[in-house]
Amino acid sequence: MILAIILAVVLIGLLIVLFAAYYKTFYYPIKNISETKGPITKSKHPYRDEARVKVKELAALPCEFITTRSYDGLKLSARYYQGDESKPLFLCFHGYHGSALRDYSGVGLSLIRQGYPVIMVDERAHWRSQGHTITFGMRERFDVLSWIDYACKRFGTDRPIYLHGISMGGGTVLMASGQELPDNVKGIISDCPFNDAEKIIRHVCQLVGLNVDLCWPVIKLSGLIYGRFNVSKTTAAKEVKKATVPIMIIHGDGDDFVPAPMSEEIQKANPEMIERYLIADAGHGLAYYYDPQRYEALVDEFVRKTS
Of 4-13, 43-52, 90-99, 239-248, which range is least confident?
A: 4-13
Q: What is the pLDDT of residue 218?
A: 95
Is pLDDT above 80 for 155?
yes
Which three-class secondary structure state does DSSP give residue 167? coil
The 10s digit of each residue's pLDDT in 159-217 is 999 999 999 999 999 999 999 999 999 999 999 999 999 999 999 999 988 899 999 99
3-state secondary structure of 240: helix
Q: How far apart are CA 231 and CA 204, in angstroms?
A: 15
- Bridge partner residues of 118 (DSSP): 81, 90
pLDDT in tens, 281-302: 999 999 999 999 999 999 999 9
Amino acid 32: pLDDT:
52
Amino acid letter for position 103: D
pLDDT of residue 45: 72
| Position 1 pLDDT exceeds 70 | yes
pLDDT at 10 over 80: no
pLDDT on residue 44 = 59
Identity of the highest mean pLDDT range in 1-5, 9-13, 120-124: 120-124
The separation between CA 277 and the C-alpha centre of its own chain, rounded to angstroms, equals 18
| Beta-bridge partner residues of 91 | 119, 163
Q: Is the pLDDT of residue 307 over 90?
A: no
Q: How far apart are CA 54 and CA 45, in angstroms?
A: 14
Residue 34 is predicted with a pLDDT of 67
Burial of 168 (0-12, 13-18, 19+ CB in 10 A): buried
pLDDT score at 226? 95
**Whether residue 38 has pLDDT greater than 90:** no
Tens of pLDDT along 119-154? Answer: 999 999 999 999 999 999 999 999 999 999 999 999
Domain 2-27+46-306 has CATH 3.40.50.1820: yes
Q: State which amino acid sits at residue 248.
A: M
Q: Which of 12-16, 54-58, 140-144, 299-303 has the lowest mean pLDDT?
A: 12-16
pLDDT interval class at 33 (50, 70, 90): low
pLDDT band at 49 (very low <50, low <70, confident <90, very high): confident
Q: Please say if the pLDDT value at position 8 is more than 70.
A: no
Identify the band that residue 29 occupies on the pLDDT scale cut at 50, 70 and 90.
confident
Q: What is the pLDDT of residue 40?
A: 55
| Model pLDDT, residue 39 | 55
Q: How confident is the model at residue 46 (pLDDT cuts 50, 70, 90)?
A: confident
Tell me what the mean pLDDT of segment 13-19 comes to. 84
